[in-house]
Amino acid sequence: MGKMPLRVIVHIDGGSRGNPGLAGAGVVVTDASDNMDLYEGGVFIGRATNNIAEYRGLLAGLTAARDLKADQVEIVSDSELLVRQMTGMYRVRNAGLQPLYRQAKALAGGFETCTFRHVRREQNTRADALANRAMDLRRNVEDAAGPAGD
């Protein structure tokens, strides 16, 4: 009997105060089977645009899912641009986003499945709060369950 595949839902958000300006990103990873939080964190980016912050949130979320040894990943974001670029509806024209996009595509390709869902901002408040906390403190914040098994 093999292990049950681990399905996670990863809420991500990125923001900047000014565009570009002080930027941060937030990540909340939950187990899709029981809604238990597996990881949450905020990433302090420094000066960046809003879209770069969204991609940094995506990279942090995909990395957290990989560290948790997730098999199936659903990314939930309130950035329509990011979701449409990652699903291939839009091309990535911005040169600053291209390396982040390529990195995200490579990480996403490491899972059995990786899907993307766009939600309204009100449905993404925890990741947003973590992004703001990282900006306020000007440092990364990790205060969740932390990666399992450490």
CB of 42 closer than 8 Å to CB of 130: yes
Question: Tens digits of per-residue pLDDT, 35-68?
Answer: 999 999 999 999 999 999 999 999 999 999 999 9
**Contact partners, residue 63, CB within 8 Å, separation at least 6:** 107
Packing angle of the helix pair 125-137, 50-67 (nearest 10 deg): 110
> Which amino acid does the sequence have at 119?
V
**Quick check: 136 pLDDT over 80?**
yes
Quote the pTM value: 0.93
Question: Tens digits of per-residue pLDDT, 73-85?
Answer: 999 999 999 999 9
| Class of 7-139 in CATH | alpha beta
Place of tokens 């990943």: 73
Question: Tens digits of per-residue pLDDT, 88-98?
Answer: 999 999 999 99
Q: Tell me the C-alpha distance between 136 and 49, whole Å.
A: 17
